[in-house]
Amino acid sequence: MKLFIKPGACSLSPHIVLEELGLTYTTEKVDTKTKKTESGADYLAINPNGYVPALQLDDGTVLTEGPAIVQYLADLKPEKRLAPANGTLARYQLQSWLTFVGMELHRNFTPQFNPAASQDWKDAARANIERRLAWVNEQLAGRDYLMGADFTVADAYLSTVVGWAKAVKMDISALTNLTAYLARVAARPAVQAARKAEGLA
């Protein structure tokens, strides 16, 4: 398998999952502005949407969209418990978290990195992030991870996205449940390995 990444972007989430699962894989960096891969390939021929992540399977099939990729990967090794079994209520709760991170956090961080975004848009999105993170902080009370005791693919996604707070100078230190959670995630060897591989350590 090959994971197409942009260091520090949302592709860090499936990168962490690959490390957690101990699967054999390679990565290739993508310049999302020029739409070229590190080897000079046309990334639009791989993922016509032009953004990361994309996972190219050994048979050439390409899977896109982070939440779909991480669930696919988790199901390759169910014994690792990175996702509850399909068809269970817990699986739908996991999907709820993945959707929340994507729609309520990831989407609102996007304008913070967009030079074309108006200040009004950035300010409104930032206020949304602050409200949503306060809610996440409440949900983490008494929990090690989003789903309880087990680290899941939702944690890989949430920690990646919340990690962008520092880049946009957002102080989350008052959210003590969240900051303790982020420290737990950051201490995981797989997270450290993925971050090191992307030059983020």
State the SS3 of 123-180: HHHHHHHHHHHHHHHHHCCCCCECCECCCCHHHHHHHHHHHHHCCCCCCCCCCHHHHH
Q: What is the mean pLDDT of the chain?
A: 97
pLDDT at 186: 98
The answer on pLDDT for 190 being more than 90 is yes
Q: pLDDT tier at 201 (50, 70, 90 boundaries)? A: confident
Backbone angles phi, psi at 108, to 5 degrees: -80, -20
For 7-45, letters b (16+ CB in 10 Å) and e give bebbbbbbbbbbbbbeeebebbbbeeeebebeeeeebee
87: confidence class by pLDDT, cuts 50, 70, 90: very high
In this model, does residue 78 exceed pLDDT 90? yes
Of the candidates 16, 157, 138, 3, which has an alpha carbon nearest to the alpha carbon of residue 95? 157
> What mean pLDDT do residues 152-159 have?
98
In this structure, what token pair is assigned to residue 74?
């988790």
What's the average model confidence in pLDDT over 62-67? Answer: 98
Q: What is the pLDDT of residues 104-121, one digit of tens each?
A: 999 999 999 999 999 999
Decide if 195 contacts 12 (C-beta within 8 A).
yes
The tens digit of pLDDT for each residue in 35-51 reads: 999 999 999 999 999 99
Domains and CATH numbers, the chain: 2-80+191-197 (3.40.30.10), 89-188 (1.20.1050.10)
Average pLDDT over residues 171-198: 98
pTM of the predicted model, to two decimals? Answer: 0.97
pLDDT for the residue 10: 98
Q: Which residues contact 121 (CB under 8 A, 6 or more apart)?
A: 111
How far is the C-alpha of 169 from the C-alpha of 36, rounded, in Å? Answer: 30
